[in-house]
Amino acid sequence: MSSRLRPPREADFSSPLRDDRVTARVGLWLGIAFLVAFLTGVFSHYGQDTPGWFTYPTGPVSLYRITQGIHVLAGTAAVPLLLVKLWSVYPKLFARLPWPPSRAGLVNGLERASVAVLVSSAIFQLVTGLQNMTHWYPWGFSFRSGHYAVAWVAIGSILVHVAVKLPIIRDALVLPIDAATPMPVAERDINARVADPALSRRALLRTTWAAAGLAVLATAGQSVSWLRDVSIFGVRSGDGPQGVPVNRSSVEAGVTKTALDPGWRLTLVNGSVKRQLTRAELEAMPQHTRSLPIACVEGWSAGATWTGVLMADLAALVDAPADSELFISSLDLNGTFGTSTLPPQFTANSNTLLALKVNGETLDIEHGYPCRVIAPARPGVLQTKWVTSLEVVA
């Protein structure tokens, strides 16, 4: 090694831990984590922005709690997997670009460009996902649109990368991890000093799995209630008014006065038929109690017992059929949270309530007093709080 300081070359990295067998095995699990996060993420996106061909299911009631909990945990587990995976191929960053230009050089350049897209989209997904989990919004783009679009870019570039590397991946996975002979690395300098690694390849893999497992354990408490005390990095302890955490507070929504106004009325509209109800009138209607989880896109969830009026009964008050689509407006005037649409299958479902109480007590203002939507299996952002009107969509 020359004593003059210079940028490293690919051959300078001499650890036998940077081996295709390590890369392929960590990459396999990283790919699985991304695929799971992708599928559960697309499901979540369709729950909020449902395409015409997709009917969102009304059960099991914990459906979204489970899919979104898995989404966030798969992403969390992917952090150590991605970091170790990138560590194992870091020397490739310093590989020489082929010069002068040739056909092989073009292929190599294209492959490197696709890897750049892969790395940047993968890091983007994990960083923005983690930020969204913790309500940290330092960017100037819409989280949902950005995270969704880049999800397709990430999964697409992963698939292309697997296609390019498939022969290497297959050979690397077949070769035993602790076999003594290192795989031939064509461009690595045979005369370079081969470092004595701190760990065996097998030990590095086990350490990586442990890191992924521990990252999951440390954050899972926000979705898995019995892990609450173990999860030192859970976003929520599970405490909150009336035993339920809050995602959007009355102060953020700007409803601290309007929600408590005695002049509040629930307005029901079906074409020209219109009715207004006070909270007392809602309380006088047949009351139903349901145990339903509230589960948010951030991955946290909490079970609660809700009491209120069946959505179908409210539709009937303005002569609308039980399977009406309802447009719901909130006192919260922010577009994202201020309105939602309840598809017909949810209005008709006997688990969908306009809740007046939670866990036996009158709804706290933080949970949506005077009344809120609670439907089974749906993303929390659609469980509109501080409801002011229900309109039948023609």
With residue 378 as reference, give the H or E element that holds it: none
DSSP-based three-state secondary structure for 387: strand
User: CA–CA separation, 318 vs 40, rounded Å?
Assistant: 37
- Torsion, Cα 243 247 251 252, to 10 degrees, reads 180
Place of tokens 């097998």: 202
Told to check if 286 binds other proteins by CB under 8 A, we report no
* Best CA proximity match to 197, nearest among 37, 371, 327, 19: 19
Minimum CB distance to other proteins, residue 153 (Å): 4
Told to check if 203 binds other proteins by CB under 8 A, we report yes
Told to check if 334 binds other proteins by CB under 8 A, we report no
Told to check if 138 binds other proteins by CB under 8 A, we report yes
Give Cα 251 to chain centroid, integer Å.
25
Region 56-85 residues binding other proteins, contact defined as CB under 8 A: 76, 79-80, 83-84
Told to check if 46 binds other proteins by CB under 8 A, we report no
Find the binder of other proteins among 37, 63, 172, 246 (CB under 8 A). 246
How many positions of this chain bind other proteins (CB under 8 A)?
86
With contacts defined by CB under 8 A, name the span among 148-156, 180-188, 269-277, 344-352 that binds other proteins. Answer: 148-156
Question: What DSSP assignment string belongs to 319-343?
Answer: T--TT--EEEEES---HHHHEEEE-
Region 117-136 residues binding other proteins, contact defined as CB under 8 A: 117, 119-121, 123-124, 127-128, 130-131, 133-136
Told to check if 140 binds other proteins by CB under 8 A, we report yes
Region 97-116 residues binding other proteins, contact defined as CB under 8 A: 116
Tell me, residue by residue from 151 to 170, as one string, x for binding to other proteins by CB under 8 A and - for no binding.
xxxxxxxxxxxxxx-xx--x
Told to check if 194 binds other proteins by CB under 8 A, we report no
With contacts defined by CB under 8 A, name the span among 204-212, 287-295, 328-336, 368-376 that binds other proteins. Answer: 204-212
- Long-range CB contacts for residues 240-243, cutoff 8 Å, separation at least 24: 240/302, 240/366, 241/364, 241/366, 241/367, 242/304, 242/358, 242/359, 242/361, 242/363, 242/364, 242/367, 243/302, 243/304, 243/359
Find the binder of other proteins among 57, 87, 202, 364 (CB under 8 A). 87
Rg over CA atoms, the chain: 27
Minimum CB distance to other proteins, residue 308 (Å): 22
Query: Nearer to other proteins by C-beta: 343 or 380?
Result: 380
Told to check if 223 binds other proteins by CB under 8 A, we report no
Query: Nearer to other proteins by C-beta: 163 or 284?
Result: 163
Told to check if 16 binds other proteins by CB under 8 A, we report no
Told to check if 274 binds other proteins by CB under 8 A, we report no
CA distances from 146 to 14, 82, 108, 156, 266 (A): 39, 20, 29, 15, 35
Find the binder of other proteins among 41, 245, 343, 376 (CB under 8 A). 245
Query: Nearer to other proteins by C-beta: 57 or 156?
Result: 156
Amino acid at 323: D
146 burial via Cβ count (<10 Å: 0-12, 13-18, 19+): middle
328, 315 in Cβ contact below 8 A?
no
DSSP-based three-state secondary structure for 38: helix
Q: Please say whether the dihedral angle defined by the alpha carbons of residues 310, 390, 247 and 364, taken in this order, is positive or negative.
A: negative
Find the binder of other proteins among 49, 141, 179, 182 (CB under 8 A). 141
Told to check if 240 binds other proteins by CB under 8 A, we report yes
Find the binder of other proteins among 235, 310, 354, 387 (CB under 8 A). 235
Residue 383 DSSP code? S
With contacts defined by CB under 8 A, name the span among 208-216, 286-294, 346-354, 381-389 that binds other proteins. Answer: 208-216
